Amino acid sequence: MPEIAYLALGSNLGDRAGFLARARESLASPPATRVVAASTVEETAPIGPVEQPAFLNQMLCVETSLAPHELLAHTQRIEAAAGRDRSGPRWGPRTLDIDIVRYGEVELSDATLTLPHPELPRRDFWLRGLRELGASGTPVAAR
């Protein structure tokens, strides 16, 4: 049975809008995933200690037949295809970042994935994107 997931896209290097557009296209590739809705693209200041350019961010609602870890692997392949370099500092500049913010009602935490995303309460632009798409930013356990 397909599941609804919310993915946050971000880019602050190169053709930021182009990277977001290509990510949307790659995520809209049935049968694995289908983009149901997309929030407005928003420019935001970077988070973290590294000086870097502003980000373009967007929240997507996707329908997916992939399990959470399969979806993570899929998003990481899309990031790699966009030239994402993971060797830099945490929260550093990047061509493309795709975070799984929520995956249905799933709650999990292991070495590679935590759902809902632990940074959700601290990312106002994610919360705005979720509200725009008609979703709650409230963690499952807090409802």
H helix or E strand, kind and range, residue 128:
helix 124-132
- Catalytic residue flag (residue 86): no
Contacts of 1 (CB under 8 A, 6+ apart): none
- Catalytic residue flag (residue 84): yes
Query: What does residue 20 show for φ and ψ, rounded to 5 degrees?
Result: -65, -40
User: Which among 16, 84, 102, 123 is annotated as catalytic?
Assistant: 84
User: Which among 16, 94, 102, 123 is annotated as catalytic?
Assistant: 94
User: For residues 59 and 128, what is the distance between their CA atoms, to the nearest angstrom?
Assistant: 9
User: Which among 22, 24, 34, 99 is annotated as catalytic?
Assistant: 99
- Catalytic residue flag (residue 131): no
- Catalytic residue flag (residue 97): yes
User: For residues 59 and 41, what is the distance between their CA atoms, to the nearest angstrom?
Assistant: 8
What the block records as the tokens of 95 is 């061509």
As beta bridge partners, residue 114 has 109
User: Which among 97, 123, 128, 143 is annotated as catalytic?
Assistant: 97
User: Any idea which residues carry the catalytic annotation?
Assistant: 84, 94, 97, 99
